[in-house]
Every structure is written in C-alpha cells, then in structure tokens.
C-alpha cells in the first residue's frame, strides 16, 4: 500500500525581483551662500557709490580746468574764492592750504595733475555706473581701483603728511570696498543658483 503524497516543506522559488541599488549616497555638504546685504547696508552701498561717482565728476572738472588754465589764472581764481573766507577767519586751514598749494604751481605740475584727475575721475565714473547697472564683472575692477587709492592714501598719510581729511576718505573707501565685496559675492551666488536648475534640466533631458 502506497503512502499518501506529502507536501514538501522546501520553500518554493520566488520570481527574481530586481535588486535596488543600495549603495550609500554620499552627502555633499552644502556650502553657505553669501547672504545679500540688508536693506540698510544696501542703501548705504548705493549712497557710497553715488558719492564716489560725484567725486569722479569733480575730479574730471578739476582736470579739465588744469588743462586749460595757466598756473597764474589758477592762483588768481583760488585767491578770489578764498578771499571771503579768509576775511572772516584768517587762519582757515582749507583756504590757507589751497593758497599754499597753488602758489607752487607750474606747467609741469598742472599737466600731471590734469592727467591724474582725468584718469582717476573717468575710471570712477565708468565703474560706478557699471556697478549701479549690476554688471557683475565690474565689481572686482571697482574693488581693485579702490584698493589702489587706499594704498596711495595710506602712503601719503604715513610717509608724506598726515591729513584728517585724507584719513576719513581712506576709511570711507575701505568701507565701500567691504560693501562692494559682499554685494559681489551675493550676486555671484544668486547667479550661479539661477543657472544650476537650467543645467540639471538640460542634463536630464539628454538621458535615454
């Protein structure tokens, strides 16, 4: 008499399931992007740029005057402009400084001064206008120009003659350099962030 067929306890082979890629995903630490300037700092930055642009315009006007006026005419003009101030305060520092400076002018110094003022004034006006129009490549050029001014002004303060006005101008330029650098970093990070989704979507569309 045959024994009844008993079901086998062996596990039935299951259909092969697709293996998922379980490789650990490396986490790339997110770099901290530069934060944009606060509204107060942004307003200060733009006011500083406008003041620097006005300074450039004054330098251009001064350079043009030095080109077309003789040293004698400049001395006469300064005496006329400072006469009222000196009549009220004979020891006025600015008026006496202007008179002392123009008294030693000659053709060579006026030509050098005209070239110096025109070149620096035009460079300031052009770079300030480009930065105000958000031309990103102009930011490093403006920073480099301001750093050159700071280096020259520090030399004048420490090695030639100390001046309170020049010291304040150097501090102003240093603050403007810092604000320009922060604004440049923030705008560059924003520009890269705006480009990255476009690059990812184009790369995904190329996959088969």
Give 19-53 pLDDT, tens digit per residue: 555 554 445 444 455 677 788 888 999 999 999 99
Return the higher-pLDDT residue of 112 and 158: 158
pLDDT at 192 over 60: yes
Residue 158, CA distances (Å) to 154, 162, 165 in order: 6, 6, 14
CB count, 10 Å around CB of 192?
Answer: 11
Residues sharing a CB contact under 8 Å with residue 38, sequence separation 6 or more, in sequence order: none
pLDDT at 14 over 80: no
Q: How confident is the model at residue 193 (pLDDT cuts 50, 70, 90)?
A: confident
For residue 121, which of 56, 179, 75 has the smallest C-alpha distance?
Answer: 56
Residue 149, CA distances (Å) to 1, 84, 113, 125 in order: 113, 33, 15, 15
For residue 113, which of 190, 160, 61 has the smallest C-alpha distance?
Answer: 61
Q: How far is CA 61 from the centre of its chain?
A: 24
Q: How far is CA 150 from the centre of its chain?
A: 14
pLDDT at 180 over 90: yes
pLDDT at 105 over 80: no
Give me the pLDDT at residue 28, please.
Answer: 44
Give me the pLDDT at residue 11, please.
Answer: 54
d(CA 114, CA 64): 7
Give me the pLDDT at residue 52, please.
Answer: 93
d(CA 78, CA 96): 10
pLDDT at 55 over 70: yes
Mean pLDDT of the chain: 80
pTM, 2 dp: 0.66
For residue 118, which of 58, 70, 177, 168 has the smallest C-alpha distance?
Answer: 58
Give me the pLDDT at residue 26, please.
Answer: 47
């Amino acid at each position: 008499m045959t024994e009844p067929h008993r079901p086998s306890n062996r596990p039935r082979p299951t259909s092969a399931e697709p293996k998922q890629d379980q490789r650990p995903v490396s986490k790339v630490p997110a770099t901290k992007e530069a934060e944009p300037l606060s509204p107060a700092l942004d307003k200060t930055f733009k006011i500083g740029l406008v003041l620097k642009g006005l300074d450039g315009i004054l330098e251009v006007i001064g350079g043009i005057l030095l080109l077309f006026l003789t040293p004698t005419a400049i001395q006469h003009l300064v005496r006329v402009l400072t006469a009222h101030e000196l009549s009220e305060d004979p020891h006025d520092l600015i008026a006496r400084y202007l008179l002392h400076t123009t008294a030693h002018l000659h053709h060579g110094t006026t030509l050098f001064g005209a070239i110096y003022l025109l070149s620096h004034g035009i460079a300031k006006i052009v770079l300030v206008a480009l930065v105000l129009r958000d031309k990103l490549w102009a930011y490093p050029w403006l920073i480099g120009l301001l750093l050159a001014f700071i280096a020259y002004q520090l030399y004048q303060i420490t090695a030639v003659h100390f001046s309170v006005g020049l010291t304040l101008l150097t501090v102003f330029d240093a603050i403007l350099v810092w604000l320009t650098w922060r604004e440049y970093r923030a705008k560059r990070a924003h520009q890269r962030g705006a480009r990255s989704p476009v690059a990812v979507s184009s790369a995904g569309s190329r996959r088969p």
